[in-house]
């Protein structure tokens, strides 16, 4: 009977999968233009497209302040500008990157996810929520930096509420629950931020523990406590992670922030688990590079090599992964691989290999027959390449 049923089911025609709606070409064009603009050092291509009116409307929804205060706050935001693009450009270095990972529909709105990477700050992700304004121009109505764990409209809302309180407007009784508690305890957030900057990590945890229960489940406070606890004992750190996970299950900011703490503790299994969970959300080939780095630190060279190669397969222009493979091949004296990896980095990226004979780490390779063959092959390739005008 079961066999007959399976045969019948197998014979049924299957409905064709519903194709995803085509993305508006204007969004495709702008998100690509933005990536190129940041790399060219032009932050205005982002900053000029932030729809401050929509952002403020979202941030101040449900509040009741005098019109004069609201207009003054809004004017101040417009005058100072959010300058996110300017900040991205200012922190760029030679090995920085700002890469569009994908453009998708989420919650009925187009979203663009970018990877932001610098040698000083590591990796972050920036999710832009897009729309069209009345003139049909693509604009940014909100943005979510993964490292902060919240949309900027929520950050702006706290700034608005705090500014209203400092201006003498009593909003406490007009707000509900967590926001009411936040406004009463806003100075505590500033105190914790100061304590983190001054590396008073035990004091951060002490301040956190004295907060009302609702704020001990508030993301900005939890993130500050987690970053401080990472510098303290294992029990404090694990407790901070558990509390965060309980309050915000599967939140990507937790994985992004706590990777370093687990690496310091050589907890490789947990680090890989967090990278896997983050990758399910962002689908970023760079995370293969990160996995390779974890395995290299663990001493599993074979697994590390596999991850570095997978990173390049997923994103051929990922220079970091190319350099690591080159370095490992030199250490292992696998000079045939060295020649192949050098070809790869020049083929796939903008890197141009200079004179290797003066570099100590390449000394063994330079003396090898593989170097002579590579140099001859490269010279022929360079001669055959069309001249750059």
Residue 288 to residues 21, 89, 125, 274, 357, Cα–Cα distance (Å): 30, 26, 16, 13, 32
- Decide which of 221 and 169 is more confident: 221
Confidence of residue 14 (pLDDT cuts 50, 70, 90): very low
Bridge partners (DSSP) of residue 112 are: 103, 128
Quick one: average pLDDT of 125-147? 95
Closest CA relative to residue 320, chosen from 355, 354, 285? 285
Give the pLDDT confidence of 318-341 residue by residue, as tens digits.
999 999 999 999 999 999 999 999
Write down the pLDDT at residue 255: 85
pTM exceeds 0.95:
no
Quick one: average pLDDT of 279-296? 96
Give the pLDDT confidence of 248-278 residue by residue, as tens digits.
887 888 888 788 888 888 999 999 999 999 9
Quick one: average pLDDT of 281-296? 96
Q: Quick one: the chain helix, strand, coil %, rounded to 5?
A: 60, 10, 30
Give the pLDDT confidence of 341-358 residue by residue, as tens digits.
999 999 999 999 999 999
How crowded is residue 183: how many other Cβ atoms within 10 Å of its Cβ? 18
Give the separation between CA 198 and CA 126, rounded to whole angstroms. 27
Confidence of residue 18 (pLDDT cuts 50, 70, 90): very low
Give the separation between CA 29 and CA 132, rounded to whole angstroms. 13
Tokens read off for 275? 């990278």
Give the separation between CA 224 and CA 188, rounded to whole angstroms. 11
Q: Is the dihedral of CA 24, 25, 29, 30 positive or negative?
A: negative
The DSSP secondary-structure symbol of 123 reads E
Give the separation between CA 56 and CA 357, rounded to whole angstroms. 58
Write down the pLDDT at residue 165: 79
- Decide which of 179 and 56 is more confident: 56
Give the pLDDT confidence of 90-114 residue by residue, as tens digits.
887 766 789 999 999 999 999 999 9
At residue 3, does pLDDT exceed 50?
Answer: no
* Residue count (the chain): 389
Could you tell me what percent of the chain has a pLDDT over 70? 90
At residue 17, does pLDDT exceed 50?
Answer: no
């Amino acid at each position: 009977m079961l066999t007959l049923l399976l045969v019948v089911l197998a014979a049924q025609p299957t409905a064709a999968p519903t194709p995803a709606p085509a993305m508006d070409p204007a969004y495709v064009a702008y998100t690509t233009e933005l990536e190129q603009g940041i790399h060219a050092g032009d932050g205005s291509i982002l900053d000029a497209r932030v729809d401050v009116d929509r952002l403020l409307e979202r941030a101040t929804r449900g509040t009741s302040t005098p019109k004069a205060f609201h207009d003054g706050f809004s004017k101040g935001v417009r005058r100072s500008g959010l300058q996110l693009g300017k900040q991205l450009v200012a922190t760029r270095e030679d090995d920085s990157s700002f890469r569009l990972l994908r453009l998708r529909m989420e919650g009925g709105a187009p979203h663009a996810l970018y990877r932001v990477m610098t040698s000083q700050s590591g990796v972050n992700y920036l999710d832009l929520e897009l729309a069209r304004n009345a003139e049909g121009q693509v604009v940014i109505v909100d943005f979510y930096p993964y490292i902060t764990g919240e949309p900027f409209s929520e950050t702006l809302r706290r700034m608005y509420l705090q500014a209203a309180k400092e201006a003498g407007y009593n909003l406490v009784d007009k707000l509900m629950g967590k926001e009411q508690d936040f406004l009463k305890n806003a100075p505590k957030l500033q105190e914790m931020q100061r304590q983190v900057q001054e590396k008073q990590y035990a004091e951060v945890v002490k301040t956190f523990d004295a907060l009302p229960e609702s704020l001990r489940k508030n993301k900005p406070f939890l993130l500050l406590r987690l970053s401080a606890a990472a510098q303290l004992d294992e029990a404090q750190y694990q407790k901070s992670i558990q509390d965060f996970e309980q309050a915000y299950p599967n939140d990507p900011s937790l994985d992004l922030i706590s990777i370093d703490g687990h690496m310091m503790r050589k907890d490789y299994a947990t680090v890989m688990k967090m990278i896997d969970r983050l990758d399910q959300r962002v689908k970023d080939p760079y995370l293969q590079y990160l996995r390779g780095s974890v395995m290299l630190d663990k001493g599993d060279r074979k697994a590390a090599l596999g991850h570095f190669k997978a990173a390049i397969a997923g994103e051929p222009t990922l220079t970091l992964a190319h350099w690591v493979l080159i370095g490992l091949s030199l250490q292992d004296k696998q000079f045939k691989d060295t020649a192949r990896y050098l070809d790869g980095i020049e083929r796939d990226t903008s890197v141009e290999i200079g004179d290797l004979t003066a570099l100590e780490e390449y000394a063994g390779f330079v003396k090898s027959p593989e170097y002579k063959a590579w140099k001859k092959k490269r010279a022929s390739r360079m001669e055959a390449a069309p001249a750059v005008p």
